[in-house]
Amino acid sequence: MNSSASSVDATNSVPSTSTAFSTESYFQSQKPPPNLEDKCSRIQAFVDRWFNVSTKRVVLVTSGGTTVPLESNTVRFLDNFSAGTRGATSAEYFLSQGYAVIFLHRIHSLRPFSRHYSHSLNPFLDLLSIVSSQSASSDSNRDQIIVSPEHATRLLPVLRAYNAAQDAGSLLQIDFQTINDYLWLLKRVSGIMAPLGRRGMFYLAAAVSDFFLPEDKMAEHKIQSGHGTLSLEMDQVPKVLRPLVQEWTPEGYIVSFKLETDPELLIPKARAALSRYGHQLVIGNELHRRKYEVVFVERADYGNGVSSASTTTTPRKGAGDSRLKGVETPPVLNADVASKQLGEIYRETWLRLDDLVPGDQDGMDEVEIEELIVRELVARHARWLEASKKTP
Ligand code: 9Z3
C-alpha cells in the first residue's frame, strides 16, 4: 500500500469513475520498461543454474517502495516510506539458510550486507583509519587504509557472509523504480521461476503502490504551476497476487505482506487476502511496530506448510531464539490462535521481539525480527515440499 498515493487521491481528486484495470488490460496497455529483457536474461541464467542443483531452494525477495511518476519525463513522483530494511535483512537470513536469493529491490534502497553501512546511519568512511609508514623514505603514497579494530569485529562476519554469497553466486540483485517496472518484473520473474515448482518461494515485502497514473493520463512534460491547485485522478493498480498464485507460478510457496496503520484491521485484512488469492501465508505488520512484531496468518490445514502439531501449540513467551539461549529451541509462538472466517479455519502466530527478551534491551539490539521470520518460513517451506512428495 502506498500511503502517499492514497492520501493524494483522497484529498485532491474527485471520486474515480474510471473502470479498474484487470491484470490483463494493465499489461496490454502499459509498456514494459526498456531494460526488462536484459534483466530477465540475468534472472533466467541465475534460475537455470540453480534449477540443476536439485536440493537448492530459490527465493524471490521483493524490497523497497515503488514510485508513481506524474509525468513521462519524470520530474515529480509519489513515493512511500519503505527503506527496504525488511527485504535486505531477510535476504541475508535466507542466504544463511542455504537459499539462492533473487533480490528485487527499489533502486538506492537498502541492500543485503551493505545495509549495515548505510551512508546515513553508519558511513563507511568512519570505519577507516590511515596508517602512515614509519620509514623515513616513505611518502604519502605508502600510507595504508585499514578498518579500525573497534569496527573490524562487527564487519568481519558481514564481509565473510557477503564474500560467501559472491563466491557461490547465490545472490542476484535486480533493481526497479516505478510501479510499472515492479509489476512487469514480478510477472516475468515468477514465470521464470515457475519450473522450480515447490522449490521456489516468493517473499513479497516491497511496499507496492495501490494507485497509479496510466500512460494515457500522464502529462508528457513537467506539470506547470500557475493554474491553482493540482487535481489528480489515479487508477487502481490491479491485484497481481491472484494471477501470480493461479497462473504465473502455481506451485510456489507464496508469502505476501499486509501493512496497516490501524491494528484492528490487520488480521481481518490479512485473512481476506488469503481467502481472496488462495496463497500460503500473509505476514501482517503495523507500521510503527513492524520491527518488533509481525503476525503470520495462514490456513490451518495440511499441505500449506503449517504443521498439524503446531496448530495446537500454546503461547510460550520467551522461548525460541537460539542465539539468545545458545541452544536449538522450537520456534517462537507468542500467541497462537485458530479462528474461523468465511468458512475457513485460520491460524495466527505472533512473532514478537520484546516478548522474546523481556526487559533485556541490550539483547534486543542484537536480534532482528527477520531472523525469526525467515526461520519460521524455512520450516514451513520444507513441510510444503515434503507434502508434495506424499501427495503426488
Ligand atoms: C510490508 O508490509 C513490509 O514489511 C514493509 C517493510 C514495507 C512494512 P521497511 O522496508 O518496511 O523495512 O521500512 N510490505 C508490504 C506492503 C504492501 O504493499 N502490502 C500490500 C497491502 O498492504 C499488499 S501486497 O495492501
CATH number assigned to the domain comprising residue 109: 3.40.50.10300
Ligand 1 atom 13: residue of nearest CA: 82
Pick the atom of ligand 1 nearest to 63's CA.
10
In the prediction, which pLDDT does 343 show? 61
Residue-range definition of the domain harbouring residue 302: 270-392
Q: Above 50 in pLDDT, residue 333? A: no
The amino acid at 296: F
> Looking at the structure, do residues 109 and 209 belong to the same domain, yes or no?
yes
Where b means 16+ CB within 10 Å and e means fewer, 105-141 reads: bbeebbbbbebbbeeeeeeeeebeeeeeeeeeeeeee
In the prediction, which pLDDT does 264 show? 96
Q: What is the pairing mode between strands 253-260 and 281-286?
A: parallel
For ligand 1, whether the C-beta of 85 sits within 6 Å is yes
- C-alpha 288/C-alpha 204 separation (Å) is 19
Whether 199 is in a domain gets the answer yes
Dihedral sign, Cα of residue 164, residue 169, residue 171, residue 176? positive
Tally of domains within the chain: 2
Q: Above 90 in pLDDT, residue 354? A: no
For ligand 1, whether the C-beta of 84 sits within 6 Å is yes
In the prediction, which pLDDT does 141 show? 67
> Looking at the structure, do residues 79 and 186 belong to the same domain, yes or no?
yes
Whether 9 is in a domain gets the answer yes
Grid coordinates of 339:
479462528
For ligand 1, whether the C-beta of 205 sits within 6 Å is yes
Pick the atom of ligand 1 nearest to 241's CA.
24
Whether 134 is in a domain gets the answer no
In the prediction, which pLDDT does 136 show? 57
In the prediction, which pLDDT does 339 show? 58
> Looking at the structure, do residues 220 and 324 belong to the same domain, yes or no?
no
Q: Tell me the H-state helices in the chain.
A: 3-12, 23-29, 36-51, 85-96, 149-168, 179-193, 241-243, 263-277, 322-325, 353-356, 361-366, 369-390
Q: Which of 251, 286, 312 is the last residue of a domain?
A: 251
Whether 70 is in a domain gets the answer yes
Mean pLDDT throughout 50-72? 98
Pick the atom of ligand 1 nearest to 294's CA.
4
> Looking at the structure, do residues 44 and 159 belong to the same domain, yes or no?
yes
The amino acid at 49: R
On average, the pLDDT of the chain sits at 85
In the block, cell 542466504 appears at: 95
Q: Above 80 in pLDDT, residue 335? A: no
> Looking at the structure, do residues 41 and 173 belong to the same domain, yes or no?
yes
Ligand 1 centroid distance, CA of 58 (Å): 21
Question: Which one of 4, 104, 110, 257 would you pick to mutate in the ligand 1 pocket, going by the greatest count of ligand atoms within 8 A of its CB?
Answer: 257
Categorize the per-residue pLDDT at 316 as very low, low, confident or very high, splitting at 50, 70 and 90. Answer: very low
For ligand 1, whether the C-beta of 171 sits within 6 Å is no
Question: Which one of 2, 82, 212, 254 would you pick to mutate in the ligand 1 pocket, going by the greatest count of ligand atoms within 8 A of its CB?
Answer: 82
Q: Between residues 54 and 314, which one has the greater pLDDT?
A: 54
C-alpha distances out from residue 111 to 43, 106, 150, 277, 296, Å: 17, 9, 23, 29, 24
E strand spans, 269-313: 281-286, 293-299
Q: Between residues 135 and 86, which one has the greater pLDDT?
A: 86
- C-alpha 115/C-alpha 109 separation (Å) is 9
For ligand 1, whether the C-beta of 334 sits within 6 Å is no
In the block, cell 505472533 appears at: 350
22-52 confidence digits (pLDDT tens): 999 999 999 999 999 999 999 999 999 999 9
Whether 6 is in a domain gets the answer yes
- C-alpha 17/C-alpha 373 separation (Å) is 40
Mean pLDDT throughout 42-64? 98
Ligand 1 centroid distance, CA of 1 (Å): 7
> Looking at the structure, do residues 192 and 290 belong to the same domain, yes or no?
no
Whether 133 is in a domain gets the answer no
ipTM score over 0.95, yes or no: yes
Whether 382 is in a domain gets the answer yes
CA distance from start to end of the chain: 37
> Looking at the structure, do residues 226 and 304 belong to the same domain, yes or no?
no
In the prediction, which pLDDT does 322 show? 30
Ligand 1 centroid distance, CA of 233 (Å): 24
Mean pLDDT throughout 165-172? 98
> Looking at the structure, do residues 355 and 238 belong to the same domain, yes or no?
no
98-120 confidence digits (pLDDT tens): 999 999 999 999 999 999 998 88
Region of poorest pLDDT, from 153-157, 219-223, 306-310, 345-349: 306-310
